Amino acid sequence: MPVEELVFYTSDEQLKSIGKKVLNNERLSFEDGVTLFEKGSLSFVGTLANWVREQKHGNSTYFNRNFHIEPTNICVFSCNFCSYSRLYAHREEGWELSVDDMLNIVKKYDGQPVTEVHIVGGVHPKMDLKFFAKLLKAIKEHRPDLHIKGFTPVELDYMFRKGKVGIEEGLQMLKDAGLQSLPGGGAEIFHPEIRQQICDDKVDAEGWLNIHRAAHKLGMHSNATMLYGHIESFWHRVDHMERLRQLQDETKGFNTFIPLKFRNGDNAMSNVPESNVVEDMRMYAIARLYMDNFPHLKAYWPMLGRQNAQLTLSFGVNDIDGTIDDSTKIYSMAGSEEQTPAMSTVELVNLIKQVKREPIERDTLYNVITNYNNVDLKESVTDPLLN
Ligand code: V47
Ligand code: SF4
């Protein structure tokens, strides 16, 4: 048997026909997606996903130098999976940063080669459009070269409704103030059957997609996430990916798809068990196969843990996010093993090289900053740029 047939071998006729479609670069149907979740072994979906990944990116594996700002964990919403937020009535248990506090966080990175700040937090009833426009302007004035990726449709929808502005107008105001792209959060699971049970009171699927559509039309890029591994069925995941795939066909504005593993520490869904590593890897692999029009697939290591993030690089993933510098609490508060998430560039590069991939530092829009494939880190470990 030729080796090509051996690696994709399956006796199942349905899987065989899906495998052929993938190898012929044909789009998978909704039913194909569900079949992969129901019947695809890790080795079957993983081998195919790795093939697709190598067709698209070879061994290139991206990371960036970034940090987060979480303006507040006070939130008017009550998502059941959220371990991080506190209601306004209990605001003494949370934090609320002023524009100056946040500018001081940015100033900590003066002289350091970070390229991106990721701003996301709870929905505070008093942090409005003007407050955030002031923040964006202050950051850009201080550090014009820092790319600002910020705000989920959950925050934006609330900000725009409260400020009585439409989506386009609100986004344009934030763009003019310095916002350059949107992160992928707030998507959770789009289907109302699940959304109503896990995050009933925040923006719905249509609202989330409309805000990303409008951002893309304004020339901004964005990411998309999916919170998986809780009470959803496989077909809800496929439905979620299908809605994103359709919007991407329309706008081509998404850079990256990021499946986020549900962590059950200290939240209202702590009774729901977490998915195991095989299910996690199958999720990434099937995402790579289904999301054929998304250029990149990211494993977010603060949520998954660094070893599992490393493992995803054999199951379709080509991006593992960035240095983070212990600047986010969302996952440590939900029980992730990464309690103080921070990795130096040397650690990220070594993590990628250990699994025989090529580490490439990128900016937010995937422009290459440095290809570390031929850099001997033992030589340059004292270089401050690598910390
Ligand atoms: O929308 C909250 C998730 C998201 C839990 O765009 C949880 O580059 C698991 O979207 N278990 C926000 N997940 C974070 C996010 C993100 C992260 C990294 C990079 C990017 C990007 C975006 O965090 C929320 C929600 O889906 N989340 N609680 C939890 N218990
Ligand atoms: Fe608020 Fe976001 Fe937590 Fe939901 S996930 S409660 S919107 S901070």
Model pLDDT for residues 6-59, shown as the tens digit of each residue: 567 789 999 999 999 999 999 999 999 999 999 999 999 999 999 999 999 999
Q: Which atom number of ligand 1 is nearest to the Cα of residue 269? A: 30
Q: Which atom number of ligand 1 is nearest to the Cα of residue 298? A: 8
Helix axis angle for 277-290 and 30-39, nearest 10°, is 160
Ligand 1 binding site (Cβ under 6 Å of any ligand atom)? 81-83, 183-186, 188, 223, 225, 227, 258, 260, 262-263, 267, 300, 303, 321, 330, 334
Confidence (pTM): 0.96
Q: Which atom number of ligand 2 is nearest to the Cα of residue 202? A: 7
Q: Quick one: tokens of 49? A: 């996903």
Environment class of residue 176 by beta-carbon count within 10 Å: exposed (0-12), middle (13-18) or buried (19+)? Answer: exposed
What is residue 6's predicted lDDT score, i.e. its pLDDT?
Answer: 57
Question: CA-based angle 313:52:191, to the nearest 5?
Answer: 85
Q: Which atom number of ligand 2 is nearest to the Cα of residue 121? A: 8
Residue 119 CA to ligand 1 center (angstroms) comes to 12
> Checking phi first, is residue 117 left (phi over 0); if not, alpha (psi -120 to 50) or beta?
beta
What is residue 46's predicted lDDT score, i.e. its pLDDT?
Answer: 97
Question: CA-based angle 252:25:37, to the nearest 5?
Answer: 90
What is residue 1's predicted lDDT score, i.e. its pLDDT?
Answer: 56
Domain boundaries, the chain: 3-56, 61-386
Pocket test for ligand 2, best of 73, 79, 225 (most atoms within 8 A of CB): 79
Model pLDDT for residues 252-280, shown as the tens digit of each residue: 999 999 999 999 999 999 999 999 999 99
Q: Which CATH architecture best describes the domain 61-386?
A: Alpha-Beta Barrel (3.20)
Q: Looking at the CA of 187, which ligand is closest?
A: 1
Residue 78 CA to ligand 2 center (angstroms) comes to 6
Q: If you take atom 4 of ligand 2, which residue's CA is the nearest one? A: 79
Residue 14 CA to ligand 2 center (angstroms) comes to 40
Residue-by-residue pLDDT tens, the chain, 387 positions: 566 665 677 899 999 999 999 999 999 999 999 999 999 999 999 999 999 999 999 999 999 999 999 999 999 999 999 998 999 889 888 999 999 999 999 999 999 999 999 999 999 999 999 999 999 999 999 999 999 999 999 999 999 999 999 999 999 999 999 999 999 999 999 999 999 999 999 999 999 999 999 999 999 999 999 999 999 999 999 999 999 999 999 999 999 999 999 999 999 999 999 999 999 999 999 999 999 999 999 999 988 999 999 999 999 999 999 998 888 887 778 888 878 888 989 999 999 999 999 999 999 999 999 999 988 776 454 444 555
Euclidean distance between the first and the last CA atom of the chain, given in angstroms as a whole number: 49
Q: Looking at the CA of 121, which ligand is closest?
A: 2
Residue 187 CA to ligand 1 center (angstroms) comes to 9
Residue 260 CA to ligand 1 center (angstroms) comes to 6
Q: Where are the alpha helices (DSSP H) in 108-233?
A: 129-142, 153-162, 167-177, 192-198, 205-217
- Greatest pairwise CA separation for the chain in angstroms: 67
Q: Looking at the CA of 71, which ligand is closest?
A: 2
Q: Looking at the CA of 229, which ligand is closest?
A: 1
What is residue 77's predicted lDDT score, i.e. its pLDDT?
Answer: 96
Among 285, 288, 261, 287, smallest CA distance to 275 is for 261
- Rg of the Cα atoms in the chain: 20
Q: Which atom number of ligand 1 is nearest to the Cα of residue 264? A: 30
What is residue 378's predicted lDDT score, i.e. its pLDDT?
Answer: 63
**CB of residue 202 inside a 6 A radius of ligand 2:** yes
Residue 227 CA to ligand 1 center (angstroms) comes to 7
- Are the C-beta atoms of residues 341 and 324 closer than 8 Å to each other? yes
Strands 368-371 and 358-362: antiparallel
What is residue 327's predicted lDDT score, i.e. its pLDDT?
Answer: 83
Which residue's entry shows tokens 């029980």?
A: 335
3-state secondary structure of 362: strand
Question: CA-based angle 288:153:250, to the nearest 5?
Answer: 50
Q: Quick one: tokens of 95? A: 């934090």
